[in-house]
C-alpha cells in the first residue's frame, strides 16, 4: 500500500516539475521558420549553432574589451545584437524584454536562464531612441 | 586539581525567549532587506550625501564588538589567566556570532547583494575594504579553530597557539575596520591615523558588554556570582579606556588636524550629534553603567554600554558624512547637490528592520550553539 | 589580450601617426582630435581632460547640466537627495571678501583617484587615457568610492531604472559618475556634451598630453588650478579664475 502511495507521489512530482519546466522548442518562429522578430541584415556573426553555444562568452569578452579598453568594434557588441535582432514591426513597436516575443527572452524564458543585461542596457534598437537623441 | 566540567544550556525560559526574539528579528530584518533590495535605496534615509546609513552603523558596531567579545578568551590563553579559562569557550562563540551578524547586515545593504560571488572573486588589493573581507573570513575561521582546540581534548595542546593567533588576528581586524575610515582623505572626520587604534580600544568594552549579557542570562546563577565582580570591574576599566581614546580622537581633531569647526559641529552644534555624544554615549553609555555595575546591575549596565556605543558610532559614521566637504579653501559653497550644507539624514524603518537582523543573527547563533555544545562551566 | 598584442597595437599606432605626419605638408597644423579606430584600445599617449574658465561661467546658467542629463538619460526620480547628478553647478562665495565664483563640478578624473584605490572589486578603474569609470558589471554597490571621493562626484542609483539609452547603460544598486562622455571620445568627437552646450565656451575639452591641443595651450598660457589641490590627486579637470 505504502509503495503504491510512493509511486503515485513520485509520478505527481515528475508531472509537476515537468509542467513547471515546459518543453524547450527554441525561439519563436513564424510559418517560414524565421525567428520572430526577424533579424535585420543577411547573416549573424557566426553560425546559429555557434551563436547559441557561445554568445554569452562573446558578449562577456566584448564587454570587458569595451569597458576597460574602449575597443568599440561592432562584432559581438550587445547594442549591435539588439539593433539587428530586435526590430520594430510594421507599426513601429518592439517586444520589450519582459515579453516572450523579445529575441533574448524568447530563449531565456524557456531555458529558465535569467539574464541581468537589461536592468541597465537598452532592450530596444538604438534607432528607436533617435528622437530622444536629437531633442 | 579538579577537572573543569562544562554543560550545554537547558531549554530554560531565557532560551525559549531568546530563540523567539531572534527568529522574529530575523523575519523582520528579512522583510526590511527584501524591500530595500526590491525597491532600491530610495526607500531608506540614505542619499548621495549620507551614503552609509543605519545598517552600516549597526554592522560596523557589531564587527568591532566581535573582536572585543574575544577578550575573555584572549586573557585566558594569551595571558594565561586561569580564572578566565572556563569562560573562554563562550567568548569565542559570541565573537563569531557578532561578526556574522554584522557581515549579514553589510551584505544586505549592498546595492547588489546578489553579486556576493563577485565580491569574493574580484579582489583589488590596494583596497582596505578588500583586505577586510579576507580579515573577516579569516577571523571566523581562526576563531572556530580556536574553539575546536578548546572543545576537543585531543587537540588541546594547540589551544595556546590558536588563541594567540586569534588574538593577533583580531587586533589586525579591528585596526583594518578602523582604517576603512582612516584612509578616507576626503573627509575631515576620518582622515586621521588614530581611527585604527581607536577602534581596537572601543571594541574591548562593547564586546565584553555583549558577552556579559549572554553570561548573565544563561550561566548558572551560582557560577555567575563567582565571576561577576571581576568581569564587571573589567568592564568598568574598558569603558574608561574607550572614553579616554574617544577624548583623544576629539582632541587630536581639534589641535593637530585643525578640524575645529567639525568638532564644534559634532560636540556643540544644535544637530543631533552633540546629544548622542554627550547625552547617550557619555552619560548613558559610560557614567551610568559604571554606577550600575557597582550595584550589580550587570545586564542593564551592559545594555547601556551597547546603546552608548551605537550612539557613538552613529555620530562618527553619519555625522562624519553629513558635515560638508570644502571645495575651495575660504569659500562657502551652494548648489543643487547639497554642497556646503549639513546633509540631513533620518533612518527609515526599513533600515532599522534590516539593522535589527544583525543582532538577531548574533543572538540566534550564540544561543543555538550554547544549546548544542558544552560551552558554559558547570558547577557539578 | 596578450602583452604582445598591446605592444603591437602601440607600435602600429605610432607608425600610422608618423605616416600621417609625413603626408601632411609642413606648416599645416592639424586641429582635429586624432580619432582612434574602433578596434584600437585607449592609449596612455593621451590624457583627456577639461579646462573650465570660471570667469566665463555665468551664475544661474545650467546648460551644461541639462546637456549632460540629456546625453545620458538622467531624469529626476525621487528627489534631489537621491537623484543622480553627474555634473552640478556650484556657486562659491568667499567668506570674508564676498568674492563670488561659479563653476560646474563633475568627476575630476584624477590621476591618483581615491575611488579606484578603495574599490574592493576593482569596478572603479582608470582607463589608459585617464578617464575614471565604474565597471558596473562588477560593482557590488558598497558605495565606498562615494565615501572616498573628495568632490562628491559620484551618485548611487537608488531605484529601478527603465528606458536607459543605449550609449549610457546604468542601473539600480550601482555607483556611477561622469564618464567624460567616453562614448563620444571613442567615436572621435572633440567635445563632451557639457563643453558643447556651454554658450560662453567656458569649458575646453582636449588631450592634456598633446602640447598642440587647445586645452594644453590655454593651460600653458594662463595655468589652471585643481580643486582641493592639497590632496595631490593630479586631476584631469582644471579650473581657471580660482585662487591658487
Q: Does residue C120 contact residue B127 with C-beta atoms inside 8 Å?
A: yes
User: Which residues in B lie closer than 8 A to residue C151 (C-beta atoms)?
Assistant: 325, 327
B:C CB pairs within 8 Å: 177
Structural domain count, chain B: 1
Q: Does residue B290 contact residue B236 with C-beta atoms inside 8 Å?
A: yes
Pull the grid cell for residue A70: 574602449
In this complex, which of A70, A74, A79 lies closest to C166 when CB atoms are compared? Answer: A79
User: Which residues in C lie closer than 8 A to residue B110 (C-beta atoms)?
Assistant: 140-142, 173
In this complex, which of A73, A121, A125 lies closest to C39 when CB atoms are compared? Answer: A73
Please provide the DSSP assignment of B38-101 as one string.
HH-GGGSS--SSS-S-HHHHHHHHHHHHHHHHTHHHHHHHTS--GGGGGGHHHHHHHHHHHHHH
A:C CB pairs within 8 Å: 62
Cβ–Cβ below 8 Å for C166 and A121: yes
Name which of C72, C48, C29 is nearest C210 in CA terms: C48
The residue behind cell 569574493 is: B120
Name which of A58, A69, B118 is nearest C137 in CA terms: B118
The residue behind cell 560636540 is: B267
Peptide bond into A37 cis (omega under 30): yes
Domain assignment of residue B319, yes or no: yes
Q: For residue B328, what is the DSSP state?
A: S
Q: For residue A127, what is the DSSP state?
A: G
| pLDDT at res. C148 | 95
**pLDDT of B56-104, one tens digit each?**
999 999 999 999 999 899 999 888 888 898 999 999 999 999 999 999 9
CA angle, residues C19, C22, C26, in degrees to nearest 5: 155
Buried b (16+ CB within 10 A) or exposed e, A20-49: eeeeeeebbeeeeeebbbebeeeeebeeee
User: Which residues in C lie closer than 8 A to residue A69 (C-beta atoms)?
Assistant: 1, 41-42, 127-128
Best residue of C148, C226, C231, C239 to probe chain B, by most B CBs closer than 10 Å: C148
In this complex, which of C42, C164, C165 lies closest to A70 when CB atoms are compared? Answer: C42
User: Which residues in C lie closer than 8 A to residue A94 (C-beta atoms)?
Assistant: none
Is C42-240 a CATH 3.20.20.140 domain?
Answer: no
Q: For residue A29, what is the DSSP state?
A: B
Which of A33-42, C29-38, C210-219 bottoms out in mean pLDDT, i.e. has the lowest?
A: C29-38
Domain assignment of residue B209, yes or no: yes
Q: For residue A41, what is the DSSP state?
A: S
**pLDDT of A68-105, one tens digit each?**
999 999 889 999 999 988 888 778 888 899 888 888 98
**pLDDT of B117-175, one tens digit each?**
998 899 999 999 999 999 999 999 999 999 999 999 899 899 999 999 999 999 999 99
CA–CA gap between residue C45 and residue B143 (Å, rounded): 50
Give the β-pairing of C237-240 and C48-53: parallel
**pLDDT of B28-58, one tens digit each?**
999 999 999 999 999 999 999 999 999 999 9
Best residue of A59, A60, A63, A69 to probe chain C, by most C CBs closer than 10 Å: A69
Q: Once rounded to an integer, what is the mean pLDDT over residues C206-235?
A: 95
Distance from CA of B321 to the nearest CA of C (A): 8
CATH code for the domain in which residue B187 is found: 1.20.1630.10
Confidence check on the interface: ipTM exceeds 0.90, yes or no? yes
The chain-wide mean pLDDT, for chain A, equals: 81
In this complex, which of A70, A71, A129 lies closest to C165 when CB atoms are compared? Answer: A129
- Give the nearest chain B residue to C141 (CA atoms): B111
Q: Does residue C112 contact residue C90 with C-beta atoms inside 8 Å?
A: no
Distance from CA of A121 to the nearest CA of C (A): 5
Name which of B187, B197, B219, B223 is nearest B370 in CA terms: B219
Answer whether residue C6 shows pLDDT above 50: no
* H helices, E strands: number in chain C: 7, 9
Cβ–Cβ below 8 Å for C166 and A126: yes
Comparing A128 with C5, the larger pLDDT belongs to A128
Domain assignment of residue B103, yes or no: yes
| pLDDT at res. C244 | 76
Q: Which CA distances in Å does B198 have to B171, B194, B203, B204, B296?
A: 11, 6, 8, 10, 28
Domain assignment of residue B177, yes or no: yes
The residue behind cell 578568551 is: B73
Answer whether residue C13 shows pLDDT above 60: no
Q: Does residue C131 contact residue C48 with C-beta atoms inside 8 Å?
A: yes
Comparing B10 with B43, the larger pLDDT belongs to B43
Going by pLDDT thresholds of 50, 70 and 90, the confidence category of residue C40 is confident
Cβ–Cβ below 8 Å for C169 and A69: no
In this complex, which of C158, C175, C228 lies closest to B327 when CB atoms are compared? Answer: C228
Q: Does residue B355 contact residue B29 with C-beta atoms inside 8 Å?
A: yes
Q: Once rounded to an integer, what is the mean pLDDT over residues A115-128?
A: 92
Residue B361 CB partners (closer than 8 Å, separation 6+): B22, B26, B97, B100, B101, B104
- Give the nearest chain A residue to C126 (CA atoms): A68
Domain assignment of residue B1, yes or no: no
Residue A114 forms contact with C (CB below 8 Å):
no
For residue B142, the enclosing domain spans 6-327+334-377
| pLDDT at res. A36 | 60
CA–CA gap between residue B61 and residue B95 (Å, rounded): 12
| pLDDT at res. C35 | 65
Cβ–Cβ below 8 Å for B335 and C89: yes
Going by pLDDT thresholds of 50, 70 and 90, the confidence category of residue A35 is low
Query: Which helix (H) or strand (E) is C110 found in, with range?
Result: none
Best residue of C3, C34, C68, C166 to probe chain A, by most A CBs closer than 10 Å: C166
Q: Once rounded to an integer, what is the mean pLDDT over residues C115-121?
A: 96
With left for phi above 0 and alpha for psi between -120 and 50, is residue B204 left, alpha or beta?
alpha
Which of B118-132, B178-192, B364-378, C38-52 bottoms out in mean pLDDT, i.e. has the lowest?
A: B178-192
**pLDDT of B196-252, one tens digit each?**
899 999 999 999 999 999 999 998 888 888 899 999 999 999 999 999 999 999 998
CA–CA gap between residue B207 and residue B68 (Å, rounded): 4
Residue A63 forms contact with C (CB below 8 Å):
yes
Amino acid at each position: 500500500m505504502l509503495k503504491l502511495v510512493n509511486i503515485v507521489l513520485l509520478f505527481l512530482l515528475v508531472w509537476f516539475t515537468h509542467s513547471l519546466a515546459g518543453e524547450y522548442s527554441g525561439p519563436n518562429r513564424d510559418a517560414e521558420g524565421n525567428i520572430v522578430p526577424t533579424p535585420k541584415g543577411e547573416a549573424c556573426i557566426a553560425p546559429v549553432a555557434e551563436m547559441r553555444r557561445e554568445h554569452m562568452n562573446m558578449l562577456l569578452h566584448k564587454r570587458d574589451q569595451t569597458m576597460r579598453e574602449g575597443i568599440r568594434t561592432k562584432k559581438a557588441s550587445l547594442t549591435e545584437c539588439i539593433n539587428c535582432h530586435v526590430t520594430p514591426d510594421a507599426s513601429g513597436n518592439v517586444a520589450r524584454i519582459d515579453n516572450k516575443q523579445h529575441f533574448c527572452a524568447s530563449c531565456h524564458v524557456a531555458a529558465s536562464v535569467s539574464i541581468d543585461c537589461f536592468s541597465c542596457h537598452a532592450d530596444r534598437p538604438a534607432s528607436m531612441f533617435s528622437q530622444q537623441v536629437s531633442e | 586539581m579538579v577537572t573543569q566540567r562544562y554543560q550545554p544550556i537547558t531549554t530554560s525560559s531565557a532560551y525559549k525567549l531568546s530563540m523567539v526574539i531572534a527568529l522574529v528579528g530575523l523575519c523582520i530584518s528579512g522583510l526590511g532587506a527584501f524591500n530595500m533590495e526590491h525597491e532600491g535605496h530610495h526607500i531608506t534615509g540614505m542619499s548621495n550625501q549620507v551614503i552609509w546609513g543605519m545598517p552600516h552603523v549597526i554592522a560596523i558596531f557589531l564587527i568591532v564588538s566581535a573582536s572585543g567579545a574575544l577578550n575573555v578568551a584572549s586573557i585566558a590563553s594569551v595571558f594565561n589567566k586561569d580564572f578566565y579559562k572556563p569562560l573562554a569557550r563562550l567568548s569565542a562563540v559570541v565573537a563569531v556570532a557578532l561578526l556574522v551578524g554584522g557581515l549579514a547586515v553589510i551584505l544586505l545593504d549592498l546595492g547588489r547583494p546578489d553579486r556576493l560571488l563577485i565580491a569574493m572573486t574580484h579582489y583589488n588589493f590596494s583596497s582596505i575594504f578588500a583586505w577586510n573581507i579576507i580579515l573577516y573570513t579569516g577571523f571566523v575561521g581562526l576563531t572556530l579553530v580556536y574553539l575546536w582546540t578548546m572543545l576537543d581534548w585531543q587537540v588541546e595542546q594547540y589551544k595556546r597557539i590558536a588563541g594567540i593567533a586569534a588574538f593577533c588576528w583580531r587586533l589586525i581586524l579591528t585596526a583594518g575596520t578602523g582604517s576603512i575610515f582612516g584612509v578616507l582623505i576626503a573627509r575631515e572626520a576620518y582622515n586621521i591615523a588614530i581611527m585604527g587604534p581607536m577602534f581596537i580600544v572601543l571594541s574591548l568594552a562593547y564586546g565584553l558588554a555583549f558577552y556579559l549579557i549572554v553570561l548573565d542570562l544563561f550561566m548558572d546563577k551560582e557560577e555567575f556570582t563567582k565571576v561577576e565582580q571581576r568581569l564587571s570591574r573589567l568592564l568598568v576599566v574598558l569603558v574608561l579606556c574607550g572614553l579616554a581614546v574617544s577624548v583623544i580622537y576629539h582632541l587630536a581633531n581639534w589641535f593637530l588636524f585643525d578640524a575645529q569647526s567639525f568638532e564644534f559641529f559634532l560636540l556643540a552644534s544644535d544637530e543631533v550629534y552633540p546629544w548622542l555624544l554627550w547625552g547617550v554615549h557619555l552619560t548613558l553609555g559610560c557614567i551610568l553603567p559604571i554606577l550600575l555595575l557597582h550595584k550589580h546591575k550587570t545586564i542593564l549596565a551592559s545594555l547601556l554600554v551597547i546603546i552608548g556605543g551605537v550612539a557613538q558610532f552613529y555620530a562618527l559614521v553619519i555625522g562624519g558624512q553629513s558635515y560638508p566637504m570644502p571645495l575651495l579653501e575660504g569659500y562657502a559653497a551652494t548648489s543643487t547637490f547639497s554642497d556646503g550644507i549639513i546633509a540631513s539624514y533620518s533612518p527609515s524603518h526599513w533600515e532599522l528592520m534590516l539593522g535589527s537582523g544583525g543582532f538577531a543573527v548574533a543572538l540566534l547563533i550564540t544561543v543555538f550553539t550554547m544549546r548544542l555544545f558544552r560551552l558554559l562551566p558547570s558547577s557539578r | 589580450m596578450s602583452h604582445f598584442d598591446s605592444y603591437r597595437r602601440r607600435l602600429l599606432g605610432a607608425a600610422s601617426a608618423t605616416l600621417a605626419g609625413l603626408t601632411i605638408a609642413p606648416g599645416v597644423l592639424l586641429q582635429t582630435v586624432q580619432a582612434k579606430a574602433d578596434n584600437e584600445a585607449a592609449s596612455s599617449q593621451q590624457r583627456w581632460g577639461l579646462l573650465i574658465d570660471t570667469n566665463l561661467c555665468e551664475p544661474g546658467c545650467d546648460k551644461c547640466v541639462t546637456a549632460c542629463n540629456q546625453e545620458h538619460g538622467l531624469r529626476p526620480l525621487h528627489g534631489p537627495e537621491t537623484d543622480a547628478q553627474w555634473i552640478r553647478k556650484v556657486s562659491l562665495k568667499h567668506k570674508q571678501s564676498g568674492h563670488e565664483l561659479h563653476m560646474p563640478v563633475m568627476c575630476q578624473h584624477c590621476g591618483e583617484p581615491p575611488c579606484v584605490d578603495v574599490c574592493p572589486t576593482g569596478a572603479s578603474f582608470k582607463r589608459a587615457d585617464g578617464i575614471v569609470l565604474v565597471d558596473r558589471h562588477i560593482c557590488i554597490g558598497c558605495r565606498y568610492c562615494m565615501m572616498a571621493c573628495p568632490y562628491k562626484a559620484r551618485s548611487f542609483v537608488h531605484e529601478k531604472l527603465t528606458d536607459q539609452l543605449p550609449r549610457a547603460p546604468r542601473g539600480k544598486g550601482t555607483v556611477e559618475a561622469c564618464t567624460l562622455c567616453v562614448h563620444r571620445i571613442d567615436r572621435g568627437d572633440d567635445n563632451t556634451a557639457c563643453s558643447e552646450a556651454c554658450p560662453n565656451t567656458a569649458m575646453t575639452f582636449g588631450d592634456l598630453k598633446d602640447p598642440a591641443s587647445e586645452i594644453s595651450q590655454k593651460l600653458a598660457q594662463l595655468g589652471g588650478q585643481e580643486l582641493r589641490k592639497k590632496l595631490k590627486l593630479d586631476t584631469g579637470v582644471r579650473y581657471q579664475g580660482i585662487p591658487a
